[in-house]
Each structure stands twice: as C-alpha cells, then as structure tokens.
C-alpha cells in the first residue's frame, strides 16, 4: 500500500510504535523552534533536564511575541533566552528579526525533516513539505535534549485543490473555506495534506498561509508536497541545496477526502469570535471599519505585503480607520524598503510597526470600544485583541487593505483590478540578526532577571482524588480563555504564581479565588476544551491553583498533552448527559485513582462519584503506558526523574 507525504516522513523518523491510526508513536525531531512567550518556560525546563548541548540538527530561539517593553520583564526574559541558548547550542533570533514561523520558513525549514515548535502555528513550515508540529514547551525541551516526541498516529485527510484562484480570491480564502467545511474541531487527530492541479499555481507564502491556519482546525499538522515551486523558493533564499522532492504515492490511502474548486472561491471572512464562523465578504459589505491590521505569521510575507502596497499606492487611509502593518521578517521589511513599496504604505498613512506578533496577541494596537477590526491573523478569539467589546474579523491582506481605504467592508471586485505580484528570483539574504551559540559554553553566564519565578511541579497522584467543581464552561473554550495573553499579562510568562490570578477569568472572574478557597478541585469543560495556543501556562496556572483534573466532552490535542505533562487528569465524559447534570461546587471524588488510571490504559472507564448528588458516572482516559506513568508520577519532569533513579 502506498504512503502519504506525512506517513513517509513519519516512517523515516519513527522511533517506536506502529503507524496505525490512534496508536502512540514516537518520532525523532530534527529541528526545534521556540518563541519568547513560551520559550522562557521551555528553557527553564531544558535546564532542569540537565543536557549540556542540544542534540537536534538545528534549534532556534526567536524573540517575536513579548516586544512591548513597557517594564523590565520582557527585556529580562530576552536576556535570559539569549544567554541560555548561547550556553546550550541554540541559535538566537534577535528581536527585530521577525516572527518565528515567517523567519523559519525563509531561512531554516527543510523539506522532509521534522520540526517541533513551542507554538501552535509551527505547522507553517508544512508549506515547504516539513512535518512541523506545535507542542508544549516541555515537549520541545525534551526534543532539544535528543528525546523522542510522542503523538498518536493521526488520520490522513487529503484536500484536493482544483483549478486556479480567480481575481481577488487568495490563499486565506482557501483556508477559510477549509475551516468552514471542517470547523475548529474538525482536524483533531488528523494531518491535512494538500494535492491537486491547483498546487502548481500556489506560491510558498500562499501555501504557508494555508498550513499556518491548519492549526485552527485543531489538526496535528498540515503539509504540501515539496515540488518545483518549493525548489524555486529555496533557490531564491540561497538554500537550493536543502531541497528534495516529496510527494504522496499514487496509491496512498486517505481517511477523508475534500475537494475545493479554487476558481469558484470568492473573498471570505471569519466573523467574531471563532475562525470557523466563515461567510463571504459580500455578506458583510458596508460594515463600518475602525481598524485594519495586516501582518501576523499567517499573512506577513513579502508576497502579501507587496500586494497591500500596490492596493494602497496613491490612496489615503480612510480618516475613520487606523491601518497597522507589521512585516513578518527583517527580510520582508528590508525588501519592502528597497523596492519602494514601504514608501507607498507610509504615503497612504499606514502605521508601520516592528516585525513581530504585535496586535495578533494583543501586544499593543488594541482597538477602541465596540470597534470593528479587520485582521489578517489566524485567531479572533474573544478578548484576544485586548479590547473585550471589539469584534475581530479575519480576512486576507487584500480585503483588509481595500477596507482601510474605503472605510467599510468592501468586495474588492468593486475596487478595481487585483494587484499582481511575482515571486522574486532572489531574496535579500542576511542572517546577521541570528546569533550563533557560544563556542565556549562553559564561559557563558546565564542571566536570570527577578521576573523569573519557579514554576509549579505536581505531586504523585493520590489514591483518592477529590474536590469541588470550580467552573463549568461551554464548548470551544480556548487557551486565551484559560490563560489570557495581552500586553499586561504576557510579560509574566515566567511568573506562573502571578498569572494564576487571571486563569479562566474571561469565563468567570471569580474562578481563581474560588479555586484557592476550595484548595483546588475540578474544571468541567465542553467539547474541544483548550483549543488554540500551545501555551503550557494553560495547564501550569490551573496546577498552581490546585486543579486536579479537567472533565470535558473532548480536548484539543496540545492542551491535553500539556495537562498530562503536568499531571492533571484529562477525563472525557462517556455520556453527554453527565456533563449536563453537573453543577458548580458539586463535590467529586475519584476513588482508588491510581488503580483506576492504570486500568484506563486497557480501555477501562474511570469512575467519578458525585458526592453531592449521590451518583457515579463514567469517563474515558485514553492514555498510553507512558502517559499513565506521567499521571501517576505527577507530570513529565517527575516521571523522567523517577526513571533516571531507576
Ligand atoms: C498564539 O498565537 O496564541 C501564540 C501566542 O502564538 C501561542 C503561543 C503562546 O501562547 O505563547 C501559540 O499559538 O501557541
Ligand atoms: Fe505570533 Fe499571532 Fe502567529 Fe501566535 S498567531 S505566533 S501571536 S503572529
């Protein structure tokens, strides 16, 4: 039987397990990336593991998220990351060099290799045929130390793209269409592969927009074949030698098939507050716009920016609109300057900000009360922009640029001819903002600022686990609900005790206090609990508050792994009715928990008693032997220590 693209890469990197859907497998990781808001934690954990030099082919630490230095905290964390990476063999991409995913695909990604990143949008590099997966910082730390990365073998989805995009339809509209079809939970446990005659006309930046936003499907990753288009991109980046051809076998078998006719696509938009709330731009025509933000790891390539500049040229940004543009990398910024496109943006009145995540994660540029903000980002979760009353709409750079001029949502077809941009035959290459690790690591002193506080570590699982229901949430709770990130909170990513006081507050202001008063307890979640970011803080903050378990209708992949890594039980209701029956402050107990968890490996249910209402209910805990060991030991660090002690 033939293999898919990702099955081939997995086969070549397989360390343990059988490539059967749902089985736990482990793979060798070639490259890792971290960014600063998850990176401090990842490097503290790497230090705790105690491996002197990274064992990967390449590891890069980026500074791109926490760039608003309104206090000492972020700058301290940058210094910590710079020194700790220098000591342990990791390259350091300085602030100003760009957003991790944009820089990585430009300068470091290699088709056919594996990449593990402490950021959920790591799959961006699937745009050049890399098996690129987002994970929690601890998993990335283990991979840097040469350890395997564990996943359950995903199902394979093939999305066949037919024909060519029509005028004003873009790669963003392709992935929005996929989101419309599959929804934000449709990709859980799956890898999405792209195929079809439509690929030939899609550039690498367009492919990267699609794989980037595959994260919003909940997919393990997304991938394109490595073909002639990939080759030309890598040659233009001066890296032609890393290219290899990669394609699925003719007789590869897929678990799910979707077909999209590119020629039929029209500009689309995701409405607040979920990336799958997709409608056509036409439907929202005339809606007054207050802000347009162009950038983020989804749409900040040179290709995107040049199109935006062409649209803006000769126009003035509408007086009621604030247009913010953040180029994705130093390379993009520099080439915009050299080609004169930057001047066109400035002339039109755009507010150009540094290369980084910026508004996407609420680091500045929060819009006004009740604002309508059109953004090219991948996420429009409630409150993420920093303004709770704002409505964030996700669109292509073209739609954002046109609206910035007209002041209202506008079908770009009514605006004029679409901009046409060619991919350059050579990019401006200068890696002077990437600092190589020290050649004398012993001499490097790791600098730790006062903002770095010890992170919580769980204890061995008790025989009886009990506690009250501390909160009951709806479906699709995101990591932005669980551990909000914005300009005020992001500087405290190395200070979990401080962050814990904001845990789940977008859902319920009283949660942290209630958790403390009751000495911890349980979180009750709906479907797809924990979707979104890879941030471990969404597990660490509950741990800090004494949360022992989360019982939900279903979980997002990375968050579930982060819970297990921290020894918090992720239980899934067997019967939806039991979710409905639970109320706030019901007293729950898992009797004989250690034996029950061990039996869960064999597929037995974990029984929970509702002591308040006097009944038992069944939950599923689908874990491997290894995950069982972690839960019993109280998390991955304890488990690794225990194993080391023999
Ligand atoms: C995001 O887009 O939500 C982030 C911020 O990049 C996160 C990482 C983080 O929380 O630090 C992600 O996508 O994993
Ligand atoms: Fe940064 Fe936004 Fe991309 Fe996350 S989604 S890496 S915050 S640009």
Tens digits of residue pLDDT in 455-511: 899 999 999 999 999 999 999 999 999 999 989 999 999 999 999 999 999 999 999
Using alpha carbons, select from 23, 205, 68 the residue that is nearest to residue 127. Answer: 205
| CA distance linking residue 145 with residue 91, whole number of Å | 15
| Ligand 1 and 533: CB distance under 6 A | yes
Three-state SS for 299? coil
The mean pLDDT of 295-309, rounded to a whole number, is 98
Q: Under a CB-based contact definition with an 8 Å cutoff, are residues 228 and 192 in contact?
A: no
Q: Domain 5-264: what homologous superfamily? A: Aconitase, domain 3 (3.30.499.10)
Of all residues in the chain, the percent with pLDDT exceeding 90 is 97
pTM of the model: 0.98
Using alpha carbons, select from 547, 551, 483 the residue that is nearest to residue 515. Answer: 547
Q: How far is the CA of 255 from the centre of ligand 2 (A)?
A: 30
| CA distance linking residue 499 with residue 492, whole number of Å | 7
Tens digits of residue pLDDT in 544-554: 999 999 999 99
Q: Calculate the average pLDDT of the chain.
A: 97
Per-domain residue ranges of the chain: 5-264, 268-413, 465-486+493-644
The mean pLDDT of 412-441, rounded to a whole number, is 97
| Ligand 1 and 34: CB distance under 6 A | no
> How confident is the model at residue 643, as a pLDDT?
82
> How confident is the model at residue 56, as a pLDDT?
98
Give Cβ neighbours of residue 239 (< 8 Å, ≥ 6 apart): 107
The pLDDT of residue 584 is above 80: yes
Helix (H) or strand (E) holding 141: helix 137-144
| Ligand 1 and 37: CB distance under 6 A | yes
- From the CA of 295, the nearest ligand is 2
- The residues with which 529 forms a beta bridge, in sequence order, are 555
DSSP letter at 449 equals -
> How confident is the model at residue 148, as a pLDDT?
97
| Ligand 1 and 361: CB distance under 6 A | yes
Q: How far is the CA of 451 from the centre of ligand 1 (A)?
A: 20
Q: For ligand 2, which residues put their CB under 6 angstroms from it?
A: 65, 99, 119, 121, 296-297, 357, 360-361, 377-378
> How confident is the model at residue 645, as a pLDDT?
79
- Fold classified for 465-486+493-644: Aconitase; domain 4 (3.20.19)
Three-state SS for 574? coil
Q: How far is the CA of 134 from the centre of ligand 1 (A)?
A: 10
Top mutation candidate among 99, 118, 213, 375 for ligand 2, by most atoms within 8 Å of CB: 99
The pLDDT of residue 19 is above 90: yes
* Residue 352's pLDDT band (cuts 50, 70, 90): very high
DSSP letter at 374 equals E
| CA distance linking residue 133 with residue 189, whole number of Å | 12
> How confident is the model at residue 451, as a pLDDT?
87
Tens digits of residue pLDDT in 523-545: 999 999 999 999 999 999 999 99
- From the CA of 359, the nearest ligand is 2
> How confident is the model at residue 419, as a pLDDT?
97
Q: How far is the CA of 111 from the centre of ligand 2 (A)?
A: 22
For ligand 1, atom 6: residue with the closest CA = 119
Lowest mean pLDDT, pick from 16-20, 60-64, 449-453: 449-453
For ligand 1, atom 1: residue with the closest CA = 533
* Residue 375's pLDDT band (cuts 50, 70, 90): very high
The mean pLDDT of 370-374, rounded to a whole number, is 98
- Fold classified for 268-413: Aconitase; domain 3 (3.30.499)
| Ligand 1 and 74: CB distance under 6 A | no
| Fold equal for 5-264 and 268-413 | yes
* Residue 31's pLDDT band (cuts 50, 70, 90): very high
Tens digits of residue pLDDT in 196-207: 999 999 999 999
Q: How far is the CA of 100 from the centre of ligand 2 (A)?
A: 9
For ligand 2, atom 3: residue with the closest CA = 297
Q: Which two tokens stand for residue 392?
A: 């964030």
Q: Which two tokens stand for residue 148?
A: 């395997």
Which atom belonging to ligand 2 lies closest to the Cα atom of 64? 1
> How confident is the model at residue 164, as a pLDDT?
98
């Amino acid at each position: 039987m033939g293999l898919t693209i990702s099955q081939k890469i997995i086969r070549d990197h397989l360390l343990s397990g059988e490539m059967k859907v749902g089985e736990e497998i482990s793979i060798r990781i070639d490259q890792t990336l971290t960014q600063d808001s998850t990176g401090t934690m990842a490097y503290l954990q790497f230090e705790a593991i105690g491996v002197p030099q990274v064992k990967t082919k390449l590891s890069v630490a980026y500074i791109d998220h926490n760039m608003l230095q309104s206090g000492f905290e972020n700058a301290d964390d940058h210094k910590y990351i710079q020194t700790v990476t220098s000591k342990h063999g990791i390259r350091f991409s300085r602030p100003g060099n760009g957003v991790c995913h944009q820089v990585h695909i430009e300068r470091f990604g290699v088709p056919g290799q594996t990449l593990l990143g402490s950021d959920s949008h790591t799959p961006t590099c699937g745009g050049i045929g890399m098996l690129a997966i987002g994970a929690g910082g601890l998993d990335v730390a283990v991979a840097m130390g040469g350890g395997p990365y564990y996943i359950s073998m995903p199902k394979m989805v093939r999305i066949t793209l037919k024909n060519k995009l029509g005028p004003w339809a873009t790669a963003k509209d392709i992935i929005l269409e996929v989101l419309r079809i599959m929804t934000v939970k449709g990709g859980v446990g799956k890898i999405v592969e792209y195929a079809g005659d439509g690929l030939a006309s899609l550039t690498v930046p367009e492919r990267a927009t699609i794989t980037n936003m595959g994260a919003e499907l909940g997919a393990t990753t997304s991938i394109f074949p490595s073909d002639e288009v990939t080759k030309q991109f890598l040659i233009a980046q001066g890296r032609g030698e890393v290219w290899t051809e990669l394609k699925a076998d003719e007789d590869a078998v897929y678990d799910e098939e979707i077909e999209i006719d590119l020629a039929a696509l029209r500009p689309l938009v995701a409405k607040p507050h979920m990336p799958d709330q997709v409608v056509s731009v036409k439907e929202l025509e005339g809606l007054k716009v207050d802000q347009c933000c162009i950038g983020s790891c989804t749409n900040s390539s040179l290709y995107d920016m040049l199109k935006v500049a062409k649209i803006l040229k000769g126009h003035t940004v509408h007086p009621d609109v604030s247009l913010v543009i953040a180029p994705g990398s130093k390379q993009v910024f520099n080439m915009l300057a050299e080609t004169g496109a930057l001047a066109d943006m400035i002339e039109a009145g755009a507010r150009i900000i540094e290369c980084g995540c910026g508004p996407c994660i609420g680091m500045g540029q929060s819009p006004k009360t009740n604002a309508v903000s059109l953004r090219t980002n991948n996420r429009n979760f409630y409150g993420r922009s920093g303004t709770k009353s704002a409505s964030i709409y996700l669109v292509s750079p073209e739609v954002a640029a046109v609206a910035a001029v007209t002041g209202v949502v506008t079908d770009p077809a009514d605006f004029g001819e679409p901009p046409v941009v060619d991919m350059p035959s050579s990019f401006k290459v200068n890696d002077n903002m990437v600092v190589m690790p020290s050649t004398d690591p012993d001499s490097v002193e790791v600098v730790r600022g006062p903002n770095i506080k010890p992170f919580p570590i769980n204890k061995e699982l008790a025989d009886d686990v009990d506690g009250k229901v501390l909160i009951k949430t709806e479906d699709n709770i995101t990591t932005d609900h669980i551990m909000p990130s914005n300009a005020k909170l992001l500087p405290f990513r190395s200070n979990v005790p401080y962050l814990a006081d904001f845990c789940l507050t977008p859902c319920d202001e009283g949660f942290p206090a209630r958790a403390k008063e009751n000495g911890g307890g349980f979180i009750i979640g709906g479907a797809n609990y924990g979707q979104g970011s890879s941030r471990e803080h969404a597990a660490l903050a509950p741990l800090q508050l004494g949360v022992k378990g989360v019982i939900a209708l279903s979980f997002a992949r990375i968050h579930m792994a982060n819970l297990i890594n921290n020894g918090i039980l992720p239980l899934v209701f067997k019967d939806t009715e039991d979710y409905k029956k639970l109320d706030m402050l019901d007293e729950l107990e898992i009797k004989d928990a250690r034996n029950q968890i061990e039996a869960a490996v064999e597929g037995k249910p974990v029984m929970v008693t509702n002591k308040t209402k006097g009944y038992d209910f069944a939950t599923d805990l689908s874990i491997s032997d290894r995950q069982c060991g972690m839960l019993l030991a109280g998390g991955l660090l304890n488990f690794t220590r225990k194993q080391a002690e023999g």
